[in-house]
């Protein structure tokens, strides 16, 4: 055992052993000892960063964590075609989001629509408010949407790392509308490393009997961001 009670060093050696630490710390001490154990405490790294010299590069700090999981994001279906929609007959389409992220800070995926569903003549299908009343929904809080006389466009989510307000497949939200400067909402998030995390997005449209006929379109933007 070491006889020194305190040392400012990373490597400890004797004739029989060598203890080598992977970081330069700003402080520490042997705080608890007994006949059977020795508890040491160390604090943070005071030399984080990238350092270079001829022949070597040193990368110190959590931001240089070597990840064996590359960041990857895929969308299984990028063209949602609802075909001919009949009044009070909800139509749905699905896509699967798959993400892998090995960064120390996890990841997040956000969603936002360019506009509500609309024709070239700017006739719109409004974003859903779900069943209204106690079951109404907003861009940041899902609500029950199962009534045939509740109209609009919205989405449901199932799978990994989704918001907890999507309690089952009857819970929907409207997409935030970029044309009115609504902020994109998180739809998948995890603070930890993850591989092949998957969530299914179900798009739903329900129209009233007086909805004008036409070809309605919008763009929904999904952005995946790794954390470090």
Q: What is the pLDDT of residue 2?
A: 46
Structure tokens at 44: 């943070």
**Residue 137 included in any domain:** yes
Whether 94 and 190 map to the same domain: the answer is yes
Whether 102 and 54 map to the same domain: the answer is no
pLDDT score of 134 more than 90: no
**Residue 86 included in any domain:** yes
Whether 112 and 179 map to the same domain: the answer is yes
What is the bridge-based pairing of β-strands 194-206 and 152-159? antiparallel
**Residue 5 included in any domain:** no
Whether 77 and 48 map to the same domain: the answer is no
Give the mean model confidence (pLDDT) for residues 204-224.
96
For tokens 């964590």, what's the residue?
65
Q: Which of 106, 111, 110 is nearest to 71 (CA)?
A: 106
pLDDT digits (tens, 9 = 90+) for 139-172: 999 999 999 999 999 999 999 999 999 999 999 9
Number of domains in the chain: 2
**Residue 88 included in any domain:** yes
Q: What CATH number does residue 77 fall under?
A: 2.60.40
Whether 59 and 161 map to the same domain: the answer is no
pLDDT score of 60 more than 80: no
End-to-end Cα, the chain, rounded Å: 38
How many whole angstroms separate alpha carbon 224 and alpha carbon 72? Answer: 9
Inter-residue contact 85 to 205 (CB < 8 Å):
yes
Band (17; pLDDT cuts 50, 70, 90): low
Whether 39 and 93 map to the same domain: the answer is no
**Residue 118 included in any domain:** yes
Q: What is the pLDDT of residue 103?
A: 79
Give the range of the structural domain holding residue 197, as residue numbers without chain letter.
72-226
**Residue 2 included in any domain:** no
Whether 45 and 128 map to the same domain: the answer is no
DSSP one-letter string for the chain: ----S----SEEE-SS-EEE-SS-EEEEEEEEE-SS-EEEEEEEESS-EEEEETTEEEEESGGG---SS--EEEES-------SPPTT--EEEEEEEEEEE-STT-EEEEEEESSSEE-TT--EEPBP-BT-GGGB-BTTB-EE---TT--EEEEEEEETT--TT--STTEEBPPPBGGGTPPPEEEEEESS-EEEEEEEEEEEEE--TTPPPS--B--EEEEEEE--
Rounded to two decimals, the pTM is: 0.74
**Residue 4 included in any domain:** no
Whether 155 and 59 map to the same domain: the answer is no
Q: What is the pLDDT of residue 52?
A: 84
**Residue 98 included in any domain:** yes
Whether 115 and 173 map to the same domain: the answer is yes
Whether 60 and 82 map to the same domain: the answer is no
Burial of 201 (C-beta count, 10 Å sphere; 0-12/13-18/19+)? buried
Q: Which residues pair with 144 in a beta bridge?
A: 171
C-alpha distance from residue 127 to each of 39, 86, 206 (Å): 59, 17, 10
Whether 159 and 218 map to the same domain: the answer is yes
Whether 46 and 80 map to the same domain: the answer is no
């Amino acid at each position: 055992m070491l006889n020194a009670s305190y040392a400012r060093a990373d490597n400890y050696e004797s004739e029989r052993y060598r203890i080598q630490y992977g970081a330069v710390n700003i402080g520490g001490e042997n705080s608890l000892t007994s006949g059977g154990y020795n508890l040491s405490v160390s604090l943070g790294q005071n030399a984080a960063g990238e350092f270079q010299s001829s022949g070597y590069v040193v990368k110190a700090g959590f931001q240089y964590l070597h990840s064996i999981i590359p960041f990857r994001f895929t969308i299984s279906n990028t063209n949602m075609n609802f075909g001919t929609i009949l009044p009070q007959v909800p139509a749905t389409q699905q896509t699967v989001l798959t993400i892998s992220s090995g960064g120390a800070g996890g990841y997040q995926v956000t969603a936002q629509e360019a506009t509500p569903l609309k024709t070239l003549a700017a006739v719109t299908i409004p974003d859903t408010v779900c069943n209204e009343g106690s079951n109404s929904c907003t861009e940041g809080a899902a609500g029950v949407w199962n009534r045939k006389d509740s109209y609009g466009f919205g989405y449901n989510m199932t799978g990994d790392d989704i918001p907890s307000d999507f309690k089952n497949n009857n819970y929907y939200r409207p997409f935030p509308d970029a044309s009115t400067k609504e902020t994109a909402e998180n739809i998948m998030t995890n603070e930890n490393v993850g591989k092949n995390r998957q969530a299914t997005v179900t798009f739903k449209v329900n129209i009233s009997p007086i909805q004008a006929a036409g070809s309605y379109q919008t763009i929904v933007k999904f952005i995946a961001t790794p954390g470090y």
